[in-house]
Amino acid sequence: MYNLLKGKRGIIFGALDSNSIAWKVAESAHAEGATFVLTNAPIAMRMGEINELAEKTGSEIIPADVTKLEDIENLIEKSVEILGGKIDFVLHSIGMSVNVRKKIHYTDNNYDFTHKGFDISALSFHKVMQVLYKKDAMAEWGSIVALTYMAAQRVFPDYNDMADNKAYLESIARSFGYFFGRDHKVRVNTISQSPTATTAGNGVKGFSGFINYAEKMSPLGNATAQECADYTITLFSDLTRKVTLQNLFHDGGFSNMGVSNEIMAAFEDQE
Protein backbone atom coordinates (compact mmCIF):
# COMPACT_ATOMS: atom_id res chain seq x y z
CA MET A 1 0.00 0.00 0.00
CA TYR A 2 0.99 3.69 0.09
CA ASN A 3 0.88 4.69 3.79
CA LEU A 4 -1.65 7.38 2.85
CA LEU A 5 -3.12 7.40 6.35
CA LYS A 6 0.00 6.70 8.40
CA GLY A 7 -0.44 8.21 11.85
CA LYS A 8 -4.04 9.26 11.27
CA ARG A 9 -6.90 8.56 13.67
CA GLY A 10 -10.50 7.96 12.74
CA ILE A 11 -14.03 6.82 13.51
CA ILE A 12 -15.87 4.47 11.16
CA PHE A 13 -19.64 4.15 11.43
CA GLY A 14 -21.68 1.33 9.96
CA ALA A 15 -19.46 -1.70 9.40
CA LEU A 16 -22.07 -4.46 9.56
CA ASP A 17 -20.47 -7.38 7.72
CA SER A 18 -17.84 -8.09 5.09
CA ASN A 19 -20.19 -6.93 2.30
CA SER A 20 -20.53 -3.41 3.68
CA ILE A 21 -18.58 -0.49 2.28
CA ALA A 22 -17.66 0.64 5.80
CA TRP A 23 -16.07 -2.76 6.42
CA LYS A 24 -13.94 -2.38 3.29
CA VAL A 25 -13.00 1.16 4.29
CA ALA A 26 -11.85 -0.10 7.69
CA GLU A 27 -9.68 -2.79 6.11
CA SER A 28 -8.17 -0.31 3.64
CA ALA A 29 -7.61 2.37 6.29
CA HIS A 30 -5.81 -0.20 8.44
CA ALA A 31 -3.66 -1.24 5.50
CA GLU A 32 -2.78 2.43 4.88
CA GLY A 33 -1.53 2.89 8.44
CA ALA A 34 -4.53 4.41 10.24
CA THR A 35 -5.86 3.61 13.70
CA PHE A 36 -9.58 4.00 14.35
CA VAL A 37 -12.59 3.21 16.44
CA LEU A 38 -15.48 1.18 15.04
CA THR A 39 -19.04 2.01 15.98
CA ASN A 40 -22.55 0.87 15.19
CA ALA A 41 -25.95 0.72 16.85
CA PRO A 42 -26.21 -1.98 19.53
CA ILE A 43 -28.87 -3.86 17.54
CA ALA A 44 -26.77 -3.72 14.36
CA MET A 45 -23.78 -5.03 16.27
CA ARG A 46 -25.78 -8.06 17.36
CA MET A 47 -26.69 -8.70 13.71
CA GLY A 48 -23.20 -8.20 12.32
CA GLU A 49 -19.70 -9.52 12.67
CA ILE A 50 -17.94 -6.37 13.83
CA ASN A 51 -15.86 -8.17 16.48
CA GLU A 52 -14.06 -10.02 13.71
CA LEU A 53 -13.22 -6.73 11.99
CA ALA A 54 -12.06 -5.15 15.24
CA GLU A 55 -9.68 -8.04 15.89
CA LYS A 56 -8.39 -7.95 12.32
CA THR A 57 -7.65 -4.20 12.43
CA GLY A 58 -6.64 -3.89 16.08
CA SER A 59 -9.56 -1.56 16.73
CA GLU A 60 -11.84 -0.94 19.67
CA ILE A 61 -15.63 -0.92 19.34
CA ILE A 62 -17.86 1.71 20.95
CA PRO A 63 -21.59 1.08 20.51
CA ALA A 64 -23.62 4.22 19.80
CA ASP A 65 -27.25 4.94 18.97
CA VAL A 66 -26.86 7.90 16.60
CA THR A 67 -30.34 9.17 17.41
CA LYS A 68 -29.08 10.00 20.93
CA LEU A 69 -26.72 12.92 21.43
CA GLU A 70 -25.41 11.48 24.70
CA ASP A 71 -24.30 8.31 22.87
CA ILE A 72 -22.50 10.37 20.22
CA GLU A 73 -20.83 12.54 22.86
CA ASN A 74 -19.63 9.44 24.67
CA LEU A 75 -18.36 7.99 21.39
CA ILE A 76 -16.36 11.10 20.50
CA GLU A 77 -14.90 11.55 23.97
CA LYS A 78 -13.84 7.92 24.27
CA SER A 79 -12.46 7.83 20.72
CA VAL A 80 -10.17 10.81 21.38
CA GLU A 81 -9.03 9.15 24.60
CA ILE A 82 -8.46 5.70 23.04
CA LEU A 83 -6.73 7.03 19.93
CA GLY A 84 -4.61 9.52 21.83
CA GLY A 85 -5.54 12.70 20.04
CA LYS A 86 -7.93 14.54 17.77
CA ILE A 87 -9.76 12.77 14.97
CA ASP A 88 -8.41 12.98 11.41
CA PHE A 89 -11.22 11.22 9.56
CA VAL A 90 -14.81 10.08 10.01
CA LEU A 91 -16.91 7.82 7.80
CA HIS A 92 -20.71 8.09 8.11
CA SER A 93 -22.08 4.94 6.47
CA ILE A 94 -25.50 4.68 8.06
CA GLY A 95 -28.87 4.24 6.39
CA MET A 96 -32.17 2.65 7.33
CA SER A 97 -35.76 2.91 6.16
CA VAL A 98 -38.50 1.07 8.01
CA ASN A 99 -40.86 1.86 5.14
CA VAL A 100 -38.53 0.05 2.73
CA ARG A 101 -38.08 -2.90 5.10
CA LYS A 102 -41.84 -3.29 5.51
CA LYS A 103 -42.45 -2.77 1.77
CA ILE A 104 -44.69 0.25 2.36
CA HIS A 105 -45.17 2.24 -0.84
CA TYR A 106 -43.84 5.81 -0.98
CA THR A 107 -47.37 7.16 -1.52
CA ASP A 108 -48.52 5.41 1.66
CA ASN A 109 -45.57 6.02 4.01
CA ASN A 110 -46.00 5.51 7.72
CA TYR A 111 -44.71 8.82 9.06
CA ASP A 112 -43.51 7.40 12.37
CA PHE A 113 -41.33 5.10 10.28
CA THR A 114 -40.33 8.03 8.06
CA HIS A 115 -39.16 10.06 11.05
CA LYS A 116 -37.16 7.14 12.42
CA GLY A 117 -35.41 6.54 9.10
CA PHE A 118 -34.73 10.25 8.67
CA ASP A 119 -33.22 10.48 12.15
CA ILE A 120 -30.91 7.51 11.59
CA SER A 121 -30.00 8.07 7.94
CA ALA A 122 -29.64 11.85 7.71
CA LEU A 123 -30.11 13.85 10.89
CA SER A 124 -27.48 11.65 12.56
CA PHE A 125 -24.90 13.19 10.22
CA HIS A 126 -25.68 16.65 11.59
CA LYS A 127 -25.58 15.34 15.17
CA VAL A 128 -22.19 13.69 14.69
CA MET A 129 -20.69 16.80 13.14
CA GLN A 130 -22.26 19.09 15.73
CA VAL A 131 -20.64 17.12 18.55
CA LEU A 132 -17.30 16.99 16.75
CA TYR A 133 -17.50 20.75 16.08
CA LYS A 134 -18.51 21.78 19.59
CA LYS A 135 -15.89 19.59 21.22
CA ASP A 136 -13.22 20.73 18.74
CA ALA A 137 -12.46 17.04 18.30
CA MET A 138 -11.36 17.13 14.64
CA ALA A 139 -7.73 17.73 13.72
CA GLU A 140 -6.93 20.54 11.31
CA TRP A 141 -7.25 19.36 7.69
CA GLY A 142 -9.37 16.44 8.86
CA SER A 143 -11.90 14.80 6.56
CA ILE A 144 -15.52 13.77 7.09
CA VAL A 145 -17.23 11.60 4.45
CA ALA A 146 -20.79 10.31 4.22
CA LEU A 147 -22.06 7.75 1.73
CA THR A 148 -25.04 8.72 -0.39
CA TYR A 149 -26.85 7.69 -3.56
CA MET A 150 -28.03 9.36 -6.75
CA ALA A 151 -31.69 8.97 -5.77
CA ALA A 152 -31.10 12.27 -3.94
CA GLN A 153 -31.24 13.96 -7.37
CA ARG A 154 -33.22 11.60 -9.61
CA VAL A 155 -36.27 9.39 -9.27
CA PHE A 156 -35.76 5.73 -8.40
CA PRO A 157 -39.31 4.66 -7.47
CA ASP A 158 -38.50 1.81 -5.09
CA TYR A 159 -35.83 3.72 -3.17
CA ASN A 160 -38.74 5.22 -1.27
CA ASP A 161 -38.10 7.72 1.56
CA MET A 162 -34.38 6.89 1.53
CA ALA A 163 -34.17 9.25 -1.46
CA ASP A 164 -35.41 12.09 0.74
CA ASN A 165 -32.97 11.11 3.47
CA LYS A 166 -30.03 11.16 1.08
CA ALA A 167 -31.04 14.58 -0.30
CA TYR A 168 -31.02 15.99 3.23
CA LEU A 169 -27.75 14.23 4.03
CA GLU A 170 -26.07 15.93 1.07
CA SER A 171 -27.46 19.32 2.10
CA ILE A 172 -26.08 18.87 5.62
CA ALA A 173 -22.65 18.08 4.17
CA ARG A 174 -22.62 21.39 2.28
CA SER A 175 -24.08 23.55 5.05
CA PHE A 176 -22.07 22.14 7.97
CA GLY A 177 -19.06 21.73 5.73
CA TYR A 178 -18.89 25.49 5.27
CA PHE A 179 -18.62 26.15 8.99
CA PHE A 180 -16.25 23.24 9.60
CA GLY A 181 -13.98 24.43 6.81
CA ARG A 182 -14.06 28.09 7.82
CA ASP A 183 -13.52 27.51 11.52
CA HIS A 184 -11.42 24.34 11.76
CA LYS A 185 -10.02 23.62 8.26
CA VAL A 186 -12.00 20.37 8.16
CA ARG A 187 -13.43 19.17 4.86
CA VAL A 188 -16.83 17.51 4.44
CA ASN A 189 -17.91 15.54 1.37
CA THR A 190 -20.38 12.89 0.27
CA ILE A 191 -19.69 10.00 -2.09
CA SER A 192 -22.54 9.01 -4.39
CA GLN A 193 -21.79 5.36 -4.96
CA SER A 194 -23.01 2.89 -7.61
CA PRO A 195 -25.74 0.49 -6.51
CA THR A 196 -23.75 -1.98 -4.42
CA ALA A 197 -24.64 -5.47 -3.22
CA THR A 198 -24.51 -4.73 0.50
CA THR A 199 -26.93 -6.00 3.13
CA ALA A 200 -28.73 -2.64 3.02
CA GLY A 201 -28.76 -2.44 -0.77
CA ASN A 202 -30.24 -5.90 -1.17
CA GLY A 203 -33.21 -4.79 0.92
CA VAL A 204 -34.45 -2.46 -1.83
CA LYS A 205 -37.18 -3.90 -4.06
CA GLY A 206 -35.96 -4.78 -7.56
CA PHE A 207 -32.34 -4.26 -6.57
CA SER A 208 -30.87 -7.10 -8.64
CA GLY A 209 -32.56 -5.81 -11.79
CA PHE A 210 -31.41 -2.30 -11.18
CA ILE A 211 -27.79 -3.24 -10.49
CA ASN A 212 -27.74 -5.02 -13.86
CA TYR A 213 -29.29 -1.97 -15.53
CA ALA A 214 -26.68 0.35 -13.97
CA GLU A 215 -23.92 -1.98 -15.14
CA LYS A 216 -25.13 -1.67 -18.73
CA MET A 217 -25.56 2.11 -18.45
CA SER A 218 -22.15 2.87 -16.96
CA PRO A 219 -19.24 3.08 -19.43
CA LEU A 220 -16.84 1.81 -16.75
CA GLY A 221 -19.36 -0.50 -15.09
CA ASN A 222 -20.56 -0.31 -11.51
CA ALA A 223 -18.07 0.60 -8.80
CA THR A 224 -17.59 -2.16 -6.24
CA ALA A 225 -17.58 -1.77 -2.46
CA GLN A 226 -13.79 -2.16 -2.45
CA GLU A 227 -13.37 0.48 -5.15
CA CYS A 228 -15.54 2.84 -3.10
CA ALA A 229 -13.34 2.14 -0.10
CA ASP A 230 -10.24 3.00 -2.12
CA TYR A 231 -11.82 6.30 -3.21
CA THR A 232 -12.81 7.08 0.37
CA ILE A 233 -9.21 6.59 1.49
CA THR A 234 -8.07 9.28 -0.96
CA LEU A 235 -10.57 11.69 0.61
CA PHE A 236 -9.21 10.88 4.06
CA SER A 237 -5.66 11.47 2.89
CA ASP A 238 -3.69 14.71 2.62
CA LEU A 239 -3.87 14.46 -1.19
CA THR A 240 -7.37 16.02 -1.18
CA ARG A 241 -6.95 18.85 1.32
CA LYS A 242 -8.84 21.39 -0.77
CA VAL A 243 -11.78 19.15 -1.72
CA THR A 244 -14.84 20.04 0.34
CA LEU A 245 -18.61 20.66 0.08
CA GLN A 246 -18.73 18.20 -2.82
CA ASN A 247 -21.09 15.39 -3.74
CA LEU A 248 -18.66 13.16 -5.60
CA PHE A 249 -20.12 10.60 -8.00
CA HIS A 250 -18.33 7.26 -7.87
CA ASP A 251 -20.47 5.29 -10.27
CA GLY A 252 -18.54 4.36 -13.39
CA GLY A 253 -20.03 7.33 -15.25
CA PHE A 254 -23.70 6.40 -14.71
CA SER A 255 -24.63 9.86 -13.40
CA ASN A 256 -23.76 11.55 -16.71
CA MET A 257 -25.40 9.01 -19.00
CA GLY A 258 -28.64 9.47 -20.92
CA VAL A 259 -28.74 6.07 -22.54
CA SER A 260 -26.17 3.47 -23.57
CA ASN A 261 -25.86 1.29 -26.68
CA GLU A 262 -26.41 -1.79 -24.52
CA ILE A 263 -29.72 -0.47 -23.16
CA MET A 264 -30.87 0.65 -26.63
CA ALA A 265 -30.03 -2.77 -28.05
CA ALA A 266 -32.26 -4.43 -25.44
CA PHE A 267 -35.24 -2.30 -26.51
CA GLU A 268 -34.51 -2.72 -30.19
CA ASP A 269 -34.65 -6.49 -29.73
CA GLN A 270 -38.25 -6.09 -28.60
CA GLU A 271 -39.36 -4.43 -31.84
Helices and strands counted in the chain (H then E): 11, 7
Indicate which residue of 2, 111, 159, 178 is catalytic.
159
Active site residue 159: yes
Using a 10 angstrom Cβ sphere, with 0-12 exposed, 13-18 middle and 19 or more buried, the burial of residue 75 is buried
Which sign does the torsion angle of CA 242, 248, 252, 258 carry?
negative
Active site residue 213: no
Rounded Cα gap, residues 235 and 141, in angstroms:
11
Indicate which residue of 106, 133, 149, 213 is catalytic.
149
Residue 204 has a CB neighbour count (10 Å cut-off) of 21
Using a 10 angstrom Cβ sphere, with 0-12 exposed, 13-18 middle and 19 or more buried, the burial of residue 217 is buried
**Which residues are known to be catalytic?**
149, 159
